[in-house]
Structure 1
Amino acid sequence: MTSGQKTAKGFVFFRRLAFPLRIFLLLLLISTLLVTVLGQYLSASFGDYLTRHVRDMAMNQAKIIASSDSLVAAVKARDTARLAAIVNKLADGSDFDYVVIGDSHSIRLYHPNPQKIGYPMQWNKPGALEKGESYFITGEGSIGMAMRAKTPIFDEHDKVIGVVSLGYLVSKIDSWRLDFLLPLAGVFVLILMMLLLLSWLFSSHIRHQMLGMEPRQIARVVRQQEALFGSVFEGLIAVDPQGRITAINRNARKMLGLSSPGRQWLGQPIGEVVQPCAFFTEKIAEKRQDVVCTFNGLSVIANRGAIRFGNEMLGAIISFRSKDEISTLNAQLTQVKQYIEGLRALRHEHLNWMATLSGLLQMKEYDRALEMVKGESQAQQTLIDRLRAFFDDRQVAALLFGKVQRANELGIALNIVEGSQLRQLPSGLDSTEFAAIVGNLLDNAFEASLRNPQSDKTVDLFLSDEGKDVVIEVGDHGCGVPFGLRDRIFEQGMSTRQDDAGEHGIGLYLISSYVARCGGVIIQEDNDPCGALFSVFIPKVTLRDGTTSHNFDR
C-alpha cells in the first residue's frame, strides 16, 4: 500500500468519526501544536536572555576584580598567596564558579587548583593582551565546560600586566535554565489541559446545539423542512422571540399577497409584512388554537404553537387557513348537526307519543286518541309558524325549532320571550356563525339547568334586532358561573365542568371570538333567584371610521 493510499484511508476513517469528535481532535491537535511552538519559542528566548545576562554579569565582575588596587599590586609582585586571599574574599558574595589570574604572558598566577599555577592559561585570544581587549570564550577549560569572561589588568600607567578570567560553568547555567523552564513547562501542561477541557466542552456544546446530528443530517432536515413547508396547504409562518420572520411558505405568501420570493422576507419584522401582527408577537409562548383573525384584510382561522429547545424559547410557528373555506365546511357540518339533533329529539318525543297513542287505541279510547293526534299536530305547526313569522333567517329558525325539541327531550322548558324577532343579521356574521352563538348559549343553559337539582328547568331566550344592535339574552336557573371563573370564562379551554375538561371550554370562546370580531360585547350576570344571564350586543353595521355604535335600549 502506497503512502498516498494510507493517507486517503486515514482521511476516510477520520470523516467517519462523529462531527463533534472530529472537532475535538482538530482542536486537540491545534492546541498541542500551539503550546509546543510557544514553549520552544519561550525556551529559546529565555536561553538567549540568560546567555546575555551571564555574559554581561561575568564581564562586569571580571572588570571589577581587575581594577582592584590590591589585586594589581599582588600581580605586579607575583604574590600568589595574596592573590588567593583576594579571590577567596571576593568569591564569598558572588555566584561565579571560578577565577583564574595570569600575568602579561598568560602564565597562571592564581588557579583554584594550585597544581595548575605556573602553567599557561587556555583559550586566549591572540593579540588581546597586547591590545588590552576584553572578550568571551565558551568551551572546555581547565575546570570544565564554561563560559569565561577575560579582561586585562592595567597598572597605574595603563600597561597590561595581567589578565583575569572569570568563568561560569555551563552546567550551572543549564540548571538556572531548568529552574525557569520546569515551572514554565508545568504552566504549559496546565494550559494544555485547560485547552483540552475547553475543546471537549466546546465539542459537547456543538453536539448539544446540533441535537446529536451530523452536518449531513442537518442538511437533510433543512431540505425536508423546506419540502414540508412547500407542500402544506395551510399558510405557515415562523417567527423568533423578537418578532422576526424565520420561515414562510408559499401558501402563506399567496394568501397574504406577498409576491416576492420567500427568502426576501426572512429576518424582516413581522409587523412590516402582516397587519395586524399582535397574534405573532404578543404572548407567543401561549398555545392558541382555532382563533379567528384578520391578516392583511383576509379573514383566517389561525393556530399558534411555541418553538422551544429545553427551557429556551426559540419563537413560534403560526398556521392559518382562509376562513371562507372553513366557513363552508362549518356550515355543512352545522346543518347536519342541527338536522341530526332535531331528528333525535323528534324521534324520542314521537316514541313516547306513539306509545301513548297505542295505549289509548288498545283501551278503545278513540276520541281521546283522535284529540291527541290533532293537538300534537297543531302544537308542532303553531311552533313552526311562530318561528317562521318572527325569524326571517331560516337557519336560525330551524335551530330554535331543534332546540325546543331538545329541551322537551331533556325535560326543560325553553321560553322564547314575547317580542323576540330577527329581521336582519349583523353585517359581520353569516347565518352559520349567528346560529353558533345562539346554539352554544342555549346548550350551556340546558347543561347548567340539569346540573342544579333545585332549578325549575326553565330557560328564557330573548332575541331582537330592534335598534342599532342585535340583542341576544339567554337566562337560566341553573348552577351559575363560579365567581373565580367569571373573568376567564371566555378563554379557550376554560369550563365550569371538571369532568372531561378537554371536551369543554370551546363554546363560549367561539362566541367571544365572533362577537369581538364584530365589535360587540358580552355581559354575564347573575339571574334571579339563581343561575346565569348572558347578554350579547352585536352592532348591525360598522361605521366608516371602523368603530361601532351600541344601543342598549331595547
Structure 2
Amino acid sequence: MSLAGQYLILQLLIIGVVLAGVVAVSLTQSTNNFEKVEGRRSLSAAESLAANPLLRELIPNAAPEMGSALPAMAETTRSTSGLQFVVLADRDGTVITSTFPDDVGTSILHPESQVEEGRGWAGDITRNGEHVLIAQVPVLDDAGKMVGIVSAGQSYPSTQELIQEIAPSALITLVIAVVLGTTGSVLLSRRVKHQTRGMEPREIAELFEHREALLHGVKEGIISVSPDSRIMLANDIAIELLQLPLDCVGQTLTDLDVAPQVTRALTTQQQQPDRQFLIGERVVVFNRMPVKTARKDLGSVTTFRDRTELTLLEQELGDSKATADMLRAQTHEFANHLHAISGLIQLQEYEEVIRFIDGVSFSRSKVFEDVSSHIAEPTIAALLIAKASVATERGIQLEVSKDSRLGRGDEQTARDLTTVIGNLIDNAMDAIADVDAPQIVISIQDLDDQITVIVRDNGAGIADEAMKEIFTQGFSTKDTTVSGGRGFGLALSRLVCRRRNGDITVANDHGAQFTATLRK
C-alpha cells in the first residue's frame, strides 16, 4: 500500500474513533437535556393540576371509577402539556385515575419519592420494563394537608430515536472530517514523498537494510563526520581500527578523546590520496571526501584500511631494491676494473696490474670480512654491504663494530631487522650529509632472548624540542614535500620493535645514538 493510502486509512480510523466518541457524547448530552427539559415540564404540569381548586375539592372523597370529572381533568392536562401520561392518586398513593387504565388501584409511591413528605419530586423509574421520567406533586387542601397525589411524565426516548435526532449533524460532521482528512493525507503524503525523494516506506526500509549490509560487509573502514566533528556513521572495521567505543555514533571526536592524528585525518582537507597515519601499532591509510549539497555542508566521509603488513613489505622491498641497485652498481664497477686491468696488460704494465688488483681486492675483502666475520645472517650481511657501498659513494665511513655478533635466525626476524637497520642507517646518513668526515658505527648484539641494534653517528644530534616527537608518525626534521612524505621510517621501526615486545630509544652522545631492541 502506498504512503498516501496508509495515511488515508489512518485518518479514517481516527475520524471513526472521533465520530464514535462524538455520538456517545451526543447521546449522553441528549439524555441529560431530556431529563432537564422534560422533568421540568412534567413537574410544572403536575403542579398546575394539583393547584386546580376543583381537583382539590373532589380528590379527598374520590374513588376509582367514580365520576368522570377527575379523568377529564387529567386527560386535559396531559393533552395540553404534551406528556405521555397523567395519574391521580389518593393520599395513600392508590391510583384513582390514570392514562393507563391498568394502573387504577395500584400504588404510585416510589422509594425515592419525597411526595409523602409534602414536597414535589421528579425522577426516573422502570415501569413494565420501560424507562420512564415522572414528576409527583402533592395535592394540598386549604389547611395545607395532603389529600392526594398528581403524577405526570413520559418514557425516555430510545437510542435509535436519539441517533435519528443527531444523525443529520453527525453526518455533516463525518463528511467534513472525511474531506479534510483525505485532503490532509494527500498533501502530507506529497510532502513526505518530496522529502524522501519519492520513495515509499518499504523502499526506504529496503534501502536502509541494503546500506547497513553494504556498510558492514566491506573490509574497509568507513566513517562519516558532521561539520561539528560529530560521528554520524561508522562501520565495524572503522570502530576496530580507530579503537572507538561501540556507542561512538552521535558523539563528537572531542568527547571520544581520539588520537590527534585521527582527528587530523578525519577533519582536515586532503590534498593527496592515501594519507598514512600510525594508529596505535597499525599503519592506516586514509582517504577523506567532503560531502556537500546545494544548501549546506554535510561534513565528510572517510574510508581507510589497515596497511601495516603491506607497508612493512614495501619497506623490505625497497631495501631489497636498494640492495639490487647496489649490486648492479658494483657489477659496473667490477667491469670498469676489468677494463682497467685489460688496458694495463695491453700496455704491458704488469707491475701496475699487480698493484691495482691488490688495492681493489684489499678494499673489497676488508668490507666483506668485516661484515661476514660478525654477521652470520645473510640478509643482514647483504644489507650492510649494500649500505656500505652507498655510504662510500656519499663519502660516509660506515663501520660495523668489532663486538657485533648476529647468528642466523628465522625469516620473520630477518625481515624485521632489515626494516629497523635500514631505516636507522638511512636516517643517520641523511643526518650527517653536511658533516665533515661523516661516520656511522653500527653495533648488533645477539643475546639469549633479544637482539640489540645500536646506530651511532657523529652529526649534530637531535634537538631537545624534537626529542619527544622524533618517533611520531609524520614528524620529520627533513624536507616533507618529497613524494610520499616523510616521518614514517622511525615510526615504522618503532612499530616493528614494539610488535616484537621491544622498543627504540634515542640519546645524544657526540651525535645521535639510536638503540633498538627486538625480542626473539
Q: So what's the TM-score if we normalise by structure 2?
A: 0.55
Partner SS, residue 440 of structure 2:
strand
Partner SS, residue 75 of structure 2:
coil
Q: 1:449 offset after TM fit, Å?
A: 2.2
1:412 counterpart = 2:399: no
Map residues 299-318 of structure 1 onto 2, 5 A cutoff: none
Map residues 327-338 of structure 1 onto 2, 5 A cutoff: 334-338=319-323
The answer as to whether partners of 1:404 and 1:414 remain within 8 angstroms in 2 is: yes
1:131 counterpart = 2:98: yes
Q: Distance in 2 between matches of 1:506 and 1:218?
A: 40
1:538 counterpart = 2:518: yes
Q: Deviations over 1:296-335 (max 9, x none)?
A: xxxxx997989999999999998799x7x99999877754
Q: 1:380 offset after TM fit, Å?
A: 1.3
Q: Deviations over 1:69-90 (max 9, x none)?
A: xx56754379xxxxxxxxxxxx
Q: 1:444 aligns with which of 427, 430, 435?
A: 427
The answer as to whether partners of 1:414 and 1:459 remain within 8 angstroms in 2 is: yes
Q: 1:356 offset after TM fit, Å?
A: 10
Partner SS, residue 505 of structure 1:
coil
The answer as to whether partners of 1:428 and 1:517 remain within 8 angstroms in 2 is: no
Q: 1:385 aligns with which of 358, 365, 369?
A: 369
Q: 2:499 aligns with which of 517, 521, 524?
A: 517
Q: How many corresponding residue pairs?
A: 396
State the partner residue of 1:473: 454
State the partner residue of 1:461: 442
The answer as to whether partners of 1:437 and 1:511 remain within 8 angstroms in 2 is: yes
Q: 1:45 offset after TM fit, Å?
A: 0.9
Identity percentage of aligned residues: 15
Q: Deviations over 1:97-152 (max 9, x none)?
A: xxxxx9523259xxxxxxxxxxx52744366664388899xxxxxxxxxxx97746
The answer as to whether partners of 1:27 and 1:199 remain within 8 angstroms in 2 is: no
Q: Distance in 2 between matches of 1:75 and 1:307?
A: 103
Q: Distance in 2 between matches of 1:283 and 1:489?
A: 21
The answer as to whether partners of 1:307 and 1:316 remain within 8 angstroms in 2 is: yes
Q: 1:509 offset after TM fit, Å?
A: 3.1
Q: 1:394 aligns with which of 378, 394, 413?
A: 378
1:430 counterpart = 2:413: yes
Q: Distance in 2 between matches of 1:204 and 1:370?
A: 91
Q: 2:53 aligns with which of 64, 76, 86?
A: 76
The answer as to whether partners of 1:241 and 1:315 remain within 8 angstroms in 2 is: no
Q: 1:397 offset after TM fit, Å?
A: 1.3
1:106 counterpart = 2:76: yes
Q: Distance in 2 between matches of 1:515 and 1:73?
A: 118
1:33 counterpart = 2:15: no
**In the alignment, residue 521 of structure 1 is paired with which amino acid?**
D
Gap change, CA 1:483 and 1:46, over 3 Å in 2? farther
Partner SS, residue 399 of structure 2:
strand
Q: Deviations over 1:197-234 (max 9, x none)?
A: 79977996899999x965666777788899988xxxxx
Cα RMSD of the aligned pairs, angstroms, is 6.1
**In the alignment, residue 37 of structure 2 is paired with which amino acid?**
A
Q: Distance in 2 between matches of 1:209 and 1:509?
A: 52
Map residues 247-286 of structure 1 onto 2, 5 A cutoff: none
1:121 counterpart = 2:104: no
The answer as to whether partners of 1:75 and 1:103 remain within 8 angstroms in 2 is: no
**In the alignment, residue 536 of structure 1 is paired with which amino acid?**
A
State the partner residue of 2:158: none
State the partner residue of 2:245: none
Gap change, CA 1:31 and 1:214, over 3 Å in 2? closer
Partner SS, residue 522 of structure 1:
strand
Q: Distance in 1 between matches of 2:473 and 2:443?
A: 26
Partner SS, residue 420 of structure 1:
coil
State the partner residue of 1:46: 25
Q: 1:433 offset after TM fit, Å?
A: 2.3
Gap change, CA 1:467 and 1:151, over 3 Å in 2? closer
Gap change, CA 1:29 and 1:396, over 3 Å in 2? same
Q: 1:443 offset after TM fit, Å?
A: 0.9
State the partner residue of 1:339: 324
The answer as to whether partners of 1:459 and 1:476 remain within 8 angstroms in 2 is: yes
Gap change, CA 1:476 and 1:65, over 3 Å in 2? farther
The answer as to whether partners of 1:433 and 1:514 remain within 8 angstroms in 2 is: yes
Q: 1:47 offset after TM fit, Å?
A: 0.8
Q: Distance in 2 between matches of 1:515 and 1:385?
A: 29
Q: So what's the TM-score if we normalise by structure 1?
A: 0.52
The answer as to whether partners of 1:429 and 1:518 remain within 8 angstroms in 2 is: no
Q: 1:420 offset after TM fit, Å?
A: 2.5
Q: Distance in 2 between matches of 1:209 and 1:333?
A: 55
Q: Deviations over 1:438-480 (max 9, x none)?
A: 1111011112223xx4565322222232576432111224465
Q: Distance in 1 between matches of 2:406 and 2:516?
A: 14
Q: Distance in 1 between matches of 2:406 and 2:36?
A: 114
Q: 1:393 offset after TM fit, Å?
A: 1.5
State the partner residue of 1:8: none
Structure number with larger C-alpha Rg: 2
Q: Distance in 1 between matches of 2:391 and 2:200?
A: 59
Q: Distance in 1 between matches of 2:290 and 2:81?
A: 80
The answer as to whether partners of 1:103 and 1:161 remain within 8 angstroms in 2 is: no
Gap change, CA 1:413 and 1:333, over 3 Å in 2? closer
Partner SS, residue 373 of structure 2:
helix
Q: Distance in 1 between matches of 2:334 and 2:411?
A: 39
